[in-house]
Amino acid sequence: TMTFTFESPMFSSTDWIGIYKEDTIPPGDGGPSIDYQYIPSDSGSIEFTTVLTPGNYVAYLLCCDGYRVLANISFTIEDPNTAFVRPVKKAFGPTDEIAFDFNNPEYENTDWIGVYYVGDDPNTTPAIAWKYVTSTKGTLVLDDVLPAGTFEAYLFCCDVTEIVLAKSEVFTSAGGAASSYIRTSASVYPET
């Protein structure tokens, strides 16, 4: 079930929400909407139970039984057999727990999530923070506090860094408690 919250201040009883593939723009250059419903009021929420294949979609709030776009939201249907790791926020504050949603369909009890500065190679640079996952899917909260910076998280298999199951989008941390670290500007230097 997908729930969409909406607001349409100039509400008409013929305002509607239509679901389209990401690359299709109403009035449907690739065909009609996949599914649609009229909204019952000027604000609220509405549920769709449409069966969608994995991929990217856009839900449009459209006016007056036509195709004038009032608002839209992109969303993704994920394949339950595909691994992913995703920060629960794009920007963590200094007192926020650092947490990740993950899916690991081929879970092994030595799979783990490691956090690295953007651009670091996990095979040559140690993780800033890491923790074992304990199930096929869920939310993992790190025990460690991250320093300020821009990071990526990796989901690894089997207690090694050579088997990357998934990589997150970039996220930031405002830094928590003071922590020690050492960094280098590159992981490989030419001989001089």
Can you read off the two tokens belonging to residue 175? 């830094």
User: Of 23-27, 70-74, 104-108, which range is least confident?
Assistant: 23-27
155-178 residue pLDDT tens: 999 999 899 999 999 999 998 655
CB within 8 Å of 76: residues ≥ 6 apart = 54, 55, 56, 57
Whole-prediction pTM? 0.64
47-75 residue pLDDT tens: 999 999 988 999 999 999 888 889 999 99
DSSP 18-56: EEEETT--TTTBTBS-SEEEE-SSSEEEEEE-----SEE
Q: Within 13 Å and on the Cβ side, how many CA atoms surround 175?
A: 8
Burial 139-168 (b: 16+ CB within 10 A, else e): ebebeebbbebebbbbbbbeeebeebbbeb
CB-CB contact of 137 with 104 (8 Å)? yes
Closest CA to 90 of 76, 103, 101: 101
CA dist 72 and 76 (Å) reads 14
Q: What is the pLDDT of residue 182?
A: 63
Task: Specify the DSSP class assigned to residue 78.
Answer: P
CB-CB contact of 4 with 59 (8 Å)? yes
Read off the amino acid at residue 79.
D
Q: What is the pLDDT of residue 177?
A: 52
Is residue 154 scored above 90 in pLDDT? yes
Secondary structure (3-state) at 132: strand
CA dist 144 and 1 (Å) reads 35
Q: What is the pLDDT of residue 31?
A: 63
Residue 11 burial (C-beta neighbours within 10 Å; 0-12, 13-18, 19+): middle
CA dist 30 and 19 (Å) reads 12
Q: How confident is the model at residue 95 (pLDDT cuts 50, 70, 90)?
A: confident
